[in-house]
Amino acid sequence: MTALLLIATLLAVVIAYVNGLHDASNAVSTSIATRTMRESSALAYAAILNTLGAVIGLSIGAFSLSWALPLLGFGALDPAALTGSALLAPLLIGSALTVILWDVATWATGTPSSTWHAMYGAAAGGALILGQPVEWGRLLGILALALLIGPLAGALCAHLLARGVIRLAAAGRMGTGAMRCVQTLSAGAVATSHGVIDSHLPMALIVIAAHYEGIAMNPGGGPMPWAILLVAFALGLGTLVGGRRIISTLSRRLTNLTTVQGFAAEAGTAALMGTVSIGLGVPLSSSQTLTSSIAGAGLALGPRQIRWGVYGRIATVWIATPLACFAISAILTLLAYRLL
């Protein structure tokens, strides 16, 4: 293993761990808040399914340089020009460190945010400071699309689901036991889809470093088995530790969750992640989608159910994420370039 591949692998493992820690709340916050599952059981459940989702997501499909560069926001870079380039290492290091720092900072403040949006902002800032081209149109389009589709569609789906479930419960067609059962299943769907989608980000770092060093991937086009296991295990371990600060925000500070809200939010999030993120390849933020889904489900019980000041502060962080990471990455990438 070469120096660059070793560094990229270590950063990928840290990103996967922090992502699991940061986004554990996406799958279990509603189940914990509604007492459908105990916190320890919910985190273990999410960790197992996150790990399984990561293994599934990384074991299928082709993982080439042409796949990895656009995925991380480096689509404007010429793969041939990267061969032997002194810019690749600081670019990867600066961008990865930015994502890690931002996820840790938002976790510490209990604010759900998008790791993907942090990566896109970091990629643009790092590339620009090193004089490299940036796919401004594609990156801005993806960010705008994800910011609109995830929160708005999530809120709408959850709102309609919550209203439907309330009517079924009122008619005596769905009891508390059945509701808790389907909420557990919907939480599992979110955890699995999160593992499938978010494991690609750290793996792309390893793929880029491996191709740069001339290390061949598997004959079938997939990543190395050791890389799959490292990323999947780190993601699951981070989930097991649990992002309790963000769980508290979603389950207590944003609204007083009911079982109906919890199921509607989780089911709407799982449906959108499955169709938009996995099916269409648009990296929706599970954090943004779930947060807005909780708000949308709360609206079915009345607008006073939502603490709009808390939601507004969270939405402000969503908008600030790519901008802040752009600036942070420019500084860290330039520093890495001068030190290496």
**pLDDT score at 22:** 87
Q: Which pLDDT belongs to residue 128?
A: 95
Chain position carrying tokens 């990895």? 68
Q: Is 334 exposed, middle or buried (0-12, 13-18, 19+ CB in 10 A)?
A: middle
Which residues in the chain show pLDDT less than 50?
none
User: Bridge partners of 306?
Assistant: 255
Supply 302's token pair: 């009345």
pLDDT in tens, 80-120: 777 677 889 999 999 999 999 999 999 988 898 999 999 99
Rounded distance between C-alpha atoms, residue 13 and residue 198, angstroms: 12
Note the pLDDT tens digit of each residue in 162-219.
888 778 776 666 666 777 788 888 888 888 988 988 999 999 999 999 888 877 665 5
Amino acid 314: pLDDT = 92
Question: What confidence score (pLDDT) does residue 61 get?
Answer: 67
Q: Are 71 and 94 in contact (CB under 8 A)?
A: no
Residues 178, 92 contacting (CB under 8 angstroms): no
pTM summary value: 0.91
Can you tell me which residue has the tokens 């589709």? 149
**Other CB atoms within 10 Å distance of the CB of residue 38:** 12
With a pLDDT cut of 70, the percent of the chain lying above it is 91
What's the farthest any 2 CA atoms get from each other in the chain?
68
Single-letter amino acid, residue 198:
D
pLDDT of residue 171: 65
Q: If DSSP codes are grouped into helix, strand and coil, which group holds residue 60?
A: coil
Quick check: 162 and 261 in contact, CB under 8 A?
Answer: yes
**pLDDT the model gives residue 40:** 85
Closest CA to 254 of 294, 209, 208, 210: 294
What pLDDT was estimated at residue 17?
96
